[in-house]
Amino acid sequence: ELQRIPHPPHRVPFLGDVIGASRRTPLQDTLRYGAQLGPVFRRKAFGKEFVFVWGAEPAADMADESRFAKHVGLGVANLRPVAGDGLFTAYNHEPNWQLAHDVLAPGFSREAMEAYHPMMLAVAGRLTDHWDRERTAGRAVDVPGDMTKLTLETIARTGFGHDFGSFERSRPHPFVSAMVGTLTYAQRLNTVPSPLAPYLLRGASRRNAADISYLNRTVDELVRARRASSADGGGDLLDRMLETAHSETGERLSAENVRRQVITFLVAGHETTSGALSFALHYLSLHPEVAARARAEVDGVWGDAEVPGYDQVAKLRYVRRVLDEALRLWPTAPAYAREAREDTVLAGGHPMRRGAWALVLTAMLHRDPEVWGADAERFDPDRFDPKSVRSRAPHTFKPFGTGARACIGRQFALHEATLVLGLLLRRYELRPDPEYRLRVTERLTLMPDGLRLRLERRTASA
Ligand code: HEM
């Protein structure tokens, strides 16, 4: 079955298709192969063979929940030592997945989001204070660095009543360094042959163990503080994890599982949103006509309001399209894995046995000219106006994954990011560095490397 799937022409024994491949950019290399090999292809790297799919038909097939389900493999499986059976890394059959999903889902309802809104605004205020100071000092701002501070503080504050003090630090919080360490390590594990990993990565694996124990200690401290405090978190995620019993079974999350969930949410809840905001700001700085239109929308919807209300964020339709378009070109979680529930045939031509799996290459699906047109590489938020969306094949825009295991934090991320883009557009003109060429770093997630912008304060409003 595998034999019929195309692969790159030059195979090196043992190491596989490594010619022209880099350990630091496995995804971007894979995209190049995908363009040559078509919508179902395989790639052997460092002793492992992976099947990748993109294109409208295979992607829609993979979204069929009766035949396919999430596969915990590769980068996701490599995070099991950190995140265990937390929501993101749980196997489908693990009972803690359903339990935690049911207990935590109300934490992402509309009512919950309305309660987070003022906290999101408060954190965004710290960002604009910082950016005002940088601007006054004549310095360019570090976009990915500052977006990471913002999104980490937002999930920590709204979910756990915790303050990492990121904006008061000149260097990233050690929690962020430890997290980046474990993500990078999880990705590197995919780029060495498994039997050699303990030798090749000995130093890195020691650092990884230290990173994990730092993450555990931070989280244990946070939980201890909440338990010791007389006040609750007003129904935040941590309250739900600690206090809420399942509505039907009466079960609760164990202490060990709470630890896994807190780490999961702190990491999953900020890294990808930070990248999405950073890419959006990059494109806004390069497309002044898009920025002007988005800004006009913000001025129109928010009027003279000092700060926007919850509904005034939902009404920013064009700003949302800017974000969608940034997530189309650079889906910050660039792939997800699916496995066959039973023996089946993928896209009419590729038999798959029960348990066989493949990676849906979102980043490639999102640039397929057959779906998005010959100008698929061009940044154009109008692709997401309702008419264009209706005329497109279904299951071709998947930045948040698919099915039962799709992102639980989608509305949270979209509300936060739309709110922040609105605030920044209203306050500043964004000036790109003319020398900057987009470089994308990979640590399972994607981030524009070294992106800096100059700001000018708008005079018109705010
Ligand atoms: C799952 C993307 C923001 C929490 C996922 C998946 C994707 C994704 C693709 C599915 C992964 C898979 O199939 O293996 C994103 C993107 C985000 C974002 C692009 C921002 C732009 C968030 C936020 C939170 C969050 C803000 C929490 C507050 C989770 C969790 C899961 C998940 C817990 C696992 C869900 C489950 O399996 O039940 N995300 N995410 N994500 N995401 Fe997000």
The rounded Cα 39 to chain-centroid distance in angstroms is: 23
Would you give the DSSP letter of residue 293?
A: H
How far apart are alpha carbons 183 and 175 in whole angstroms? Answer: 12
- Percentage, residues of the chain above pLDDT 70: 95
Give the dihedral sign, CA 263/115/123/335: positive
406 Cα–ligand 1 center, Å: 7
For residue 270, give the ligand 1 atom closest to its CA: 26
Task: Give me 436's structure tokens.
Answer: 């900057």
How far apart are alpha carbons 461 and 446 in whole angstroms? Answer: 34
For residue 90, give the ligand 1 atom closest to its CA: 37
Residue closest via CA to ligand 1's atom 20 equals 273
- pLDDT above 50: residue 388: yes
How far apart are alpha carbons 87 and 351 in whole angstroms? Answer: 30
For residue 159, give the ligand 1 atom closest to its CA: 28
- The region that residue 449 occupies, defined by phi over 0 for left and psi between -120 and 50 for alpha, beta otherwise, is beta
Q: Which residue from 407, 411, 415, 420 has its CB within 8 A of the most atoms of ligand 1, so it is best to mutate?
A: 407
Structure confidence at residue 233 (pLDDT):
79
Q: Which residues contact 207 (CB under 8 A, 6 or more apart)?
A: 181, 185
Give the dihedral sign, CA 186/191/192/195: positive
For residue 413, give the ligand 1 atom closest to its CA: 26
How far apart are alpha carbons 444 and 200 in whole angstroms? Answer: 20
Residue closest via CA to ligand 1's atom 25 equals 409
**Tokens 């504050």 sit on residue:** 157
313: phi then psi, degrees, rounded to nearest 5: -85, -45
Structure confidence at residue 277 (pLDDT):
98
Q: Which residues contact 404 (CB under 8 A, 6 or more apart)?
A: 65, 69, 70
Q: Which residues contact 110 (CB under 8 A, 6 or more apart)?
A: 411
Pairing of strands 68-70, 336-340: antiparallel
How far apart are alpha carbons 461 and 49 in whole angstroms? Answer: 56
- The region that residue 444 occupies, defined by phi over 0 for left and psi between -120 and 50 for alpha, beta otherwise, is left
**Tokens 């890419």 sit on residue:** 279
**Residues within a 6 A CB radius of ligand 1:** 70, 76, 87-88, 101, 155, 264-265, 268-269, 272-273, 276, 332-333, 336, 399-401, 405-409, 412-413
Pairing of strands 344-346, 68-70: unpaired
Cβ distance 358 to 303 under 8 Å? no
Q: Which residues contact 21 (CB under 8 A, 6 or more apart)?
A: 29, 45
Q: What is the mean pLDDT of residues 382-386?
A: 98
299 Cα–ligand 1 center, Å: 31
408 Cα–ligand 1 center, Å: 6
How far apart are alpha carbons 237 and 252 in whole angstroms? Answer: 14
Question: Mean pLDDT lowest for which of 28-37, 183-192, 288-297, 434-443?
Answer: 183-192
Give 217 or 24, the one with higher predicted confidence.
217
Grade residue 22 by pLDDT with cuts at 50, 70 and 90.
low
Residue closest via CA to ligand 1's atom 39 equals 407
Cβ distance 179 to 267 under 8 Å? yes
Q: Which residues participate in catalysis according to the annotation?
A: 272, 400, 407
For residue 155, give the ligand 1 atom closest to its CA: 28
Give 36 or 323, the one with higher predicted confidence.
323
Query: How is 367-418 classified by DSSP, letter by letter?
Result: T-HHHH-TTTTS--GGGGSHHHHHHSPTT---TT--GGGS-TTHHHHHHHHH
Residue closest via CA to ligand 1's atom 38 equals 405
Residue closest via CA to ligand 1's atom 26 equals 269
Mean residue pLDDT across the chain:
91
Grade residue 448 by pLDDT with cuts at 50, 70 and 90.
very high
pLDDT tens, residue by residue, 230-279 = 888 788 999 999 999 999 999 999 999 999 999 999 989 899 999 999 99
Structure confidence at residue 47 (pLDDT):
66
ipTM, interface predicted TM-score of the complex: 0.99
Grade residue 202 by pLDDT with cuts at 50, 70 and 90.
confident
Q: What is the mean pLDDT of residues 160-172?
A: 90
- pLDDT above 80: residue 190: no
101 Cα–ligand 1 center, Å: 12
Compute the half-sphere exposure of residue 65: CA atoms within 13 Å on the CB side of its CA: 7
How far apart are alpha carbons 424 and 445 in whole angstroms? Answer: 24
- The region that residue 14 occupies, defined by phi over 0 for left and psi between -120 and 50 for alpha, beta otherwise, is left
356 Cα–ligand 1 center, Å: 23
Grade residue 196 by pLDDT with cuts at 50, 70 and 90.
confident
How far apart are alpha carbons 455 and 134 in whole angstroms? Answer: 9
For residue 417, give the ligand 1 atom closest to its CA: 21
251 Cα–ligand 1 center, Å: 24
Adjacent-strand bridge partners of 48: 45
Residue closest via CA to ligand 1's atom 12 equals 336
Q: Which residues contact 193 (CB under 8 A, 6 or more apart)?
A: 14, 15, 46, 47, 48
Q: What is the mean pLDDT of residues 188-211?
A: 83
Q: What is the mean pLDDT of residues 107-124?
A: 95
pLDDT tens, residue by residue, 425-438 = 999 999 999 999 99
- pLDDT above 60: residue 32: yes
401 Cα–ligand 1 center, Å: 8
How far apart are alpha carbons 160 and 154 in whole angstroms? Answer: 10
Structure confidence at residue 462 (pLDDT):
45
Residue closest via CA to ligand 1's atom 14 equals 336
Residue closest via CA to ligand 1's atom 2 equals 400
Residue closest via CA to ligand 1's atom 42 equals 407
Strand order of the sheet with strand 40-45? 40-45, 48-53, 357-360, 336-340, 68-70
Chain length of the chain: 462
Adjacent-strand bridge partners of 421: none
335 Cα–ligand 1 center, Å: 12
How far apart are alpha carbons 91 and 89 in whole angstroms? Answer: 7
For residue 151, give the ligand 1 atom closest to its CA: 26
217 Cα–ligand 1 center, Å: 24
